[in-house]
Structure 1
Amino acid sequence: MPDPIRSYDVVVLGAGAAGLMCAAVAGQRSRRVALLDHGSLPGRKILISGGGRCNFTNIHCAPDRFLSANPHFAKSALALYTPRHFLELVEKYKISYHEKTLGQLFCDHSAHAILNLLLAECEKGRVDHVSDAHSIQVERSSSGFRLECAKGEFRCESLVVATGGLSIPKLGATAFGYDLARQFGLGIVEPRPALVPLLLGGKESSWTQLAGVSTLVRASAPSTKTSFVEKLLATHRGLSGPAILQISSYWKRGEPIFVDLTPDQAILAPVVQGRRDAPTLLKALREHLPQRLAEHLAQIAAPQGWSNAALEACERSLHHWPFYPTGTEGYAKAEVTAGGVDTAHLQARTMESRNVPGLFFIGEVVDVTGHLGGFNFQWAWASAVAAGKAV
């Protein structure tokens, strides 16, 4: 016998952070909710985030910490549901947490605590969770939407797409959300890997010999006035670390990024004021930088002579060092996907499609991408609550 047709008020596609949150909010409003996911386990990205401790929000959350073709779009949802709101939920479940740096909040113990919180909230809302719902097909119906998948046929008034982006394919990431948006006539801002390590090649390959070396820098890119003062990490393939991950979201292929190797600190004063020779240069670099990095720069960044002008030029270059990445490490290493469903096609207060009533898009599938440090989780919570209260 074929599976019976199951009817709901709301079907949420995707059991990640945004999908779980939205299903819980809608369910607790007495909406009949089904949460469908093509995977066998919910919240897999939650569990690996923050080194397994889930950087679940950032107390300094503000709209200017997000990238989008429309930088104003995220304001409504972020104002509706703030980090304080999520913290109240965390504290209600007696989850211990701490601030690491720059407002980043982590679980003291395990990311499982956040996933268990979301699952408990869904249970309160009597959400039906359907896993292994492969091969989902969606079409409009007279009463809303009709879905067919490996687990049977579902019908609903409202459909919420929380299927995420393309980052980390091994966790099940696909382009399904974008395909569904196109099916219903919504535009897509071209997706790209974000918060991702950068690759170096050619002459800059010498930097890969410094793999494991980390130092505090200021990273910037020509396409943004934003800069990030955080750690840079040399890798066997190029550059990583928080500063590089942050600026990678703004980097455009073919353009350089610029790195201030000692933010707000002059390096070469001992050379200017003392002996003007290579040993003094190396000693000055070692005063501010890890030894291996100092030795590398002493070779590749030495001044063209020892005149005041040459030393001044060398100092400037150390504070505005260009790198020309050959690419990124791709979606396999990207923490999130930039781009996605064009916000011009969505209502900011509810996340509902402007032209397809009852169709909602939330979380990473939307063209809203946060900085590193809990902002993308806060967008997941905020956009989910906005939709969960509207369906």
Structure 2
Amino acid sequence: MQRCDVVVLGAGAAGMMCAATAGQRGRSVVLIDHSLKLAEKIRISGGGRCNFTNLNISPECYLSNNPHFVKSALKQFTQHDFIALMYKHGLSFQEKTLGQLFCDQHSQGVIDLLKTEVDAGGAQWRQGSRIVAVAGHPDGGFVVQTERDDQSESWQCESLVVATGGLSIPQIGATPIGYEIAKQFGLRIVPQAAALVPLTFQAEDLWTELAGVAIEDAIVACGRQQFREAILFTHKGVSGPAILQISSYWQPGESLVIDLLPSVQLADIWPTANREALLSTILAEWLPKRFLQVWLQKYGEIKPLKQYSPKVLQQIADDLHHWEVKPSGTQGYKKAEVTRGGVDTDELQSKTMMARQVPGLFFIGEVVDVTGWLGGYNFQWAWSSGYVAGLHV
């Protein structure tokens, strides 16, 4: 039996941030991960460019059964604190749309930053270690049993941090072990679902001929929540930033309302448009021609504007501004960027991430019932939750 102050399960974004923070406070830390490849989810994020945070971080950009839970962690470690870390390590970045920050040195730069910070705290790495068992110790603290290269190890620690992530992207090793540990210690779990994920249609609703067509400016609404970004038609349904965003709010059986022309009102366009021009030509100023060819077939052949009755023009305008669709489902965890749901935040102290009823047990990152918007928000939750746990382990 080996002893240390802190065992962190999971060497992803949150786990490494926690291990670095705790280690640099003088705590002896062991960082355990099942994978030999370090931080694979960071590596593939943003197509390898790593959208590491967002300038517009605020609690309103997160979903949770307790919408106030994120406030303390986000205040204790802000996006500007992580930006300062980037500067400290000589990394540069670019601001893209909607406040998204991408690392110029790509994902590897962020991974190297985190590894250097962990090493600065003197943590022991145990990559390629499978968690065999976790239990409370009779004298307090915890015991973690692992197996690596057919060799067993046991660690006794005062604090145990679960940073094992969610169920998204199982092809790189996602497992439900974090939820299983939470249940083992009596913590409630909010049901999980794929989030930031493409949506699917029934086969008969699928416009397969539109696969690959993007509409760069659309508003997608589900109930009171809406996002204005691009959408992309796929062979299975719809994707693109606006769809991924709304997917976190969508529940099976619900409909979405899409405004395909938010920048104009067609009712104001018709009176001043060239009545001799084809309707598809008029609308092509705002919408892709390939999309219009398919869409306008619903109303018969494509004709000059003057050949459409006012009633039909009104219907076309209504349909383009208020297109109601009912997705049949999602493309699941394989295509999801994150997992919605997880360890119930009512079970955790928001200032420390420690379980209220189990002293020394912490949950951070995606395993917790906190889901951020697309665009760097989930990485910021990893940094913030990992940091505050690291201060208190």
> Contact between 1:267 and 1:288, CA under 8 Å: does it hold in 2?
no
Report the Cα distance in structure 1 between the residues aligned to 2:173 and 2:117, rounded to whole angstroms. Answer: 24
Secondary structure at the counterpart of residue 136 of structure 1:
strand
Q: Who is 1:212 aligned against?
A: 212
Secondary structure at the counterpart of residue 284 of structure 2:
helix
Q: Who is 1:106 aligned against?
A: 102
Q: Who is 2:20 aligned against?
A: 24
Secondary structure at the counterpart of residue 122 of structure 2:
coil
Give identity over the alignment, percent. 50
Report the Cα distance in structure 1 between the residues aligned to 2:275 and 2:191, rounded to whole angstroms. Answer: 51
Written as runs of structure 1 = structure 2, the 5 A alignment for 1:251-266 is: 251-266=250-265
1:249 aligns with 2:248: yes
What residue identity is the alignment partner of 1:266?
Q
> Contact between 1:12 and 1:159, CA under 8 Å: does it hold in 2?
yes
> Contact between 2:144 and 2:155, CA under 8 Å: does it hold in 1?
yes
Deviates more, 1:45-54 or 1:127-136: 127-136
What residue identity is the alignment partner of 1:108?
D
Secondary structure at the counterpart of residue 389 of structure 1:
helix
Alpha-carbon offset, residue 274 of structure 1: 5.8
Written as runs of structure 1 = structure 2, the 5 A alignment for 1:280-291 is: 280-291=278-289
> Contact between 2:217 and 2:231, CA under 8 Å: does it hold in 1?
yes
Q: Deviations over 1:12-64 (max 9, x none)?
A: 00000000000000000000000011111221100100111110000100000
Written as runs of structure 1 = structure 2, the 5 A alignment for 1:15-54 is: 15-54=11-50
Alpha-carbon offset, residue 311 of structure 1: 2.4
Alpha-carbon offset, residue 149 of structure 1: 1.4
Q: Who is 2:234 aligned against?
A: 235
> Contact between 2:14 and 2:163, CA under 8 Å: does it hold in 1?
yes
> Contact between 2:49 and 2:104, CA under 8 Å: does it hold in 1?
yes
Secondary structure at the counterpart of residue 40 of structure 1:
coil
Alpha-carbon offset, residue 343 of structure 1: 0.2
> Contact between 1:58 and 1:105, CA under 8 Å: does it hold in 2?
yes
What residue identity is the alignment partner of 1:369?
T
Question: Structure 1 regions of 5+ residues with no counterpart?
Answer: none
Q: Who is 1:195 aligned against?
A: 196
Report the Cα distance in structure 1 between the residues aligned to 2:181 and 2:271, rounded to whole angstroms. Answer: 63
Deviates more, 1:313-322 or 1:125-134: 313-322
Deviates more, 1:208-217 or 1:161-170: 208-217
Q: Who is 2:384 aligned against?
A: 382
Alpha-carbon offset, residue 270 of structure 1: 5.1
1:126 aligns with 2:122: yes
Secondary structure at the counterpart of residue 266 of structure 2:
coil
1:147 aligns with 2:149: no
Deviates more, 1:132-141 or 1:246-255: 132-141
Structure 1-normalised TM-score?
0.94
Secondary structure at the counterpart of residue 392 of structure 2:
coil
What residue identity is the alignment partner of 2:172?
L
Q: Who is 2:354 aligned against?
A: 352
Alpha-carbon offset, residue 314 of structure 1: 2.5
What residue identity is the alignment partner of 1:148?
Q
What residue identity is the alignment partner of 2:193?
R
Q: Who is 2:63 aligned against?
A: 67
> Contact between 1:191 and 1:337, CA under 8 Å: does it hold in 2?
yes
Alpha-carbon offset, residue 309 of structure 1: 4.1
Report the Cα distance in structure 2 between the residues aligned to 1:300 and 1:386, rounded to whole angstroms. Answer: 55
Report the Cα distance in structure 2 between the residues aligned to 1:300 and 1:355, rounded to whole angstroms. Answer: 59
What residue identity is the alignment partner of 1:367?
D
Q: Who is 2:304 aligned against?
A: none
Report the Cα distance in structure 1 between the residues aligned to 2:274 and 2:199, rounded to whole angstroms. Answer: 38
What residue identity is the alignment partner of 1:192?
A
Deviates more, 1:43-52 or 1:131-140: 131-140
Q: Deviations over 1:182-206 (max 9, x none)?
A: 1111111111000111111243212
Return closer, same or farther for 1:301/1:126 CA change in 2, 3 Å cut-off: farther
Secondary structure at the counterpart of residue 222 of structure 2:
coil
Report the Cα distance in structure 2 between the residues aligned to 1:318 and 1:130, rounded to whole angstroms. Answer: 55
> Contact between 2:6 and 2:159, CA under 8 Å: does it hold in 1?
yes
Written as runs of structure 1 = structure 2, the 5 A alignment for 1:331-346 is: 331-346=333-348
> Contact between 1:219 and 1:244, CA under 8 Å: does it hold in 2?
no
Report the Cα distance in structure 1 between the residues aligned to 2:300 and 2:346, rounded to whole angstroms. Answer: 50
Counterpart selection for 1:327 from 318, 326, 329: 329
Report the Cα distance in structure 2 between the residues aligned to 1:298 and 1:106, rounded to whole angstroms. Answer: 39
> Contact between 2:219 and 2:262, CA under 8 Å: does it hold in 1?
no
Deviates more, 1:214-223 or 1:50-59: 214-223
> Contact between 1:272 and 1:311, CA under 8 Å: does it hold in 2?
no
Return closer, same or farther for 1:269/1:112 CA change in 2, 3 Å cut-off: same
Report the Cα distance in structure 2 between the residues aligned to 1:301 and 1:271, rounded to whole angstroms. Answer: 17
CA RMSD of aligned residues (A): 1.8
Report the Cα distance in structure 1 between the residues aligned to 2:126 and 2:12, rounded to whole angstroms. Answer: 13
What residue identity is the alignment partner of 1:143?
G
Question: Structure 2 regions of 5+ residues with no counterpart?
Answer: 302-306
Report the Cα distance in structure 2 between the residues aligned to 1:60 and 1:275, rounded to whole angstroms. Answer: 42
Alpha-carbon offset, residue 336 of structure 1: 0.5
Alpha-carbon offset, residue 315 of structure 1: 1.1
Return closer, same or farther for 1:328/1:244 CA change in 2, 3 Å cut-off: same
Report the Cα distance in structure 1 between the residues aligned to 2:98 and 2:300, rounded to whole angstroms. Answer: 35
Q: Who is 1:294 aligned against?
A: 292
Secondary structure at the counterpart of residue 282 of structure 1:
helix
Deviates more, 1:368-377 or 1:293-302: 293-302
Return closer, same or farther for 1:330/1:357 CA change in 2, 3 Å cut-off: same
Report the Cα distance in structure 1 between the residues aligned to 2:6 and 2:131, rounded to whole angstroms. Answer: 19
> How many residues were matched structurally?
383
Q: Who is 1:170 aligned against?
A: 171
Alpha-carbon offset, residue 339 of structure 1: 0.5
Return closer, same or farther for 1:113/1:127 CA change in 2, 3 Å cut-off: same
What residue identity is the alignment partner of 1:299?
Q
